Amino acid sequence: MAQQMRAAVLRKLRTPLKIEKLPEPEPGPGELLIRIAACGVCHSDLHAIDGDWTPGPVLPLIPGHEVTGHVVALGSGVAGFKIGDAVGVPWMFSACGACEYCLLGQETICRNGRSTGYSMPGGYAELMVAPAAFVGRLPKNADLFALAPILCAGVTTYRGLKRAEVRPGQWVTVLGVGGLGHIAIQYAVAMGLRVAAVDVEDSKLRLARRLGAEVAVNASQGDPAAAVRKRTGGTHGAIVTTASPRAFEQAVGLLRGAGTCVYIGLPGGKKDWIRSSIAALVGTELTVRGSNVGTRADLAEAIAFAANGLVTAKIERQPLGRVNQVLERMRKGKILGRVVLDLAS
């Protein structure tokens, strides 16, 4: 009889995950078999479970794309890895490597790309397989629980800050101090940027200040764009990490001339539209751009920041068996930092 593993499985959209025993996967050519230690819970997991995006996830689905663990078996043709290596699996499970986007270093928008925990089985399980070419290499003695959120929240916000093209000493606003935002603030500070933070929860704004934000604005107490402009003169860049459509509109309004706003968060469903002033965009030469997770190069850089102690995710460990309670808390916005599932216990 084949060996079995525990996994949290989605068999029907908008239903609770079920803890099941499934056959252990085996690595194919070019793949690693990874025993998972930890998997962060991302808001994108909720979008997958609730069927917010088109096309929807591949069912049945094991969600999770902030995965850390150790290599326990190698598929044929794998070089450069050995059993026992610490690795991480991000959202970008694979890309084709041959299309125009891949050849231009834009593999995150490869039309033939596959996504961990969406089109491919993810990390809410004890074991998974992943292409060796796309996993992140982690330090030998790394804290795999602390590093798990870097595999999505970390690399996504890091790439977003790079795409904002804000220089050291300039201002950037982080809208949403949740699982992504609290990490974005740390990357911004480590990159030499001055940070303003916007949220609707005072507890999250206090966290933002502890992490290095010089300005903290509660968006529920008035126009946050006006408040940020008053304190900073308008910021050179902004990144939106929340899923609130209103924040995407407000982000453009707090920029100074020639500023850049980067959209990272994903509202999903029918809320996936915003209104913006064409006159403001044209008249002050503003830039609005999207940023989709991160390339393998971005991932290596993002991991290096965290491994060197410059970025530390605020985490809360929970067992796999409590995953549905964690997801419900996330729906209600009741998580400070990031919940990381403990698959090793």
CATH of the domain at 65: 3.90.180.10
Same domain, 12 and 132: yes
The tokens describing 298, both together, are 């971005």
Task: Work out how many domains the chain is built from and give that number.
Answer: 2
pLDDT in tens, 34-58: 999 999 999 999 999 999 999 999 9
Same domain, 254 and 274: yes
Same domain, 39 and 171: no
User: Which has the closest alpha carbon to 39: 309, 333, 326?
Assistant: 326
Domain boundary residue, one of 290, 305, 334: 290
pLDDT in tens, 152-193: 999 999 999 999 999 999 999 999 999 999 999 999 999 999
Domain boundary residue, one of 290, 311, 328: 290
Same domain, 184 and 284: yes
Q: What is the CATH number of the domain that holds 224?
A: 3.40.50.720
Long-range contacts of 285-288 (CB under 8 A, 24+ apart): 285/257, 285/258, 286/252, 286/255, 286/257, 286/258, 286/259, 286/260, 286/261, 287/258, 287/259, 287/260, 287/261, 288/252, 288/260, 288/261, 288/263
User: What is the span of the domain harbouring residue 34?
Assistant: 4-152+294-342
First to last CA, the chain: 24
pLDDT band at residue 122 under the 50/70/90 scheme: very high
Same domain, 284 and 309: no
Q: What is the rounded average pLDDT for all residues in the chain? A: 96
What are the residue ranges of helices labelled H in 21-152? 43-50, 100-103, 144-147
Same domain, 37 and 158: no
Check whether 270 has a pLDDT greater than 90.
no
**Tokens 């929340």 sit on residue:** 242
Same domain, 176 and 222: yes
Same domain, 159 and 143: no
Same domain, 218 and 324: no
% of the chain surpassing 90 pLDDT: 92
Query: Across residues 97-114, what is the average pLDDT?
Result: 97
Same domain, 211 and 335: no
Domain boundary residue, one of 290, 305, 320: 290
Whole-prediction pTM: 0.96
Same domain, 248 and 284: yes
User: Which has the closest alpha carbon to 323: 13, 18, 15?
Assistant: 18
Check whether 1 has a pLDDT greater than 60.
no
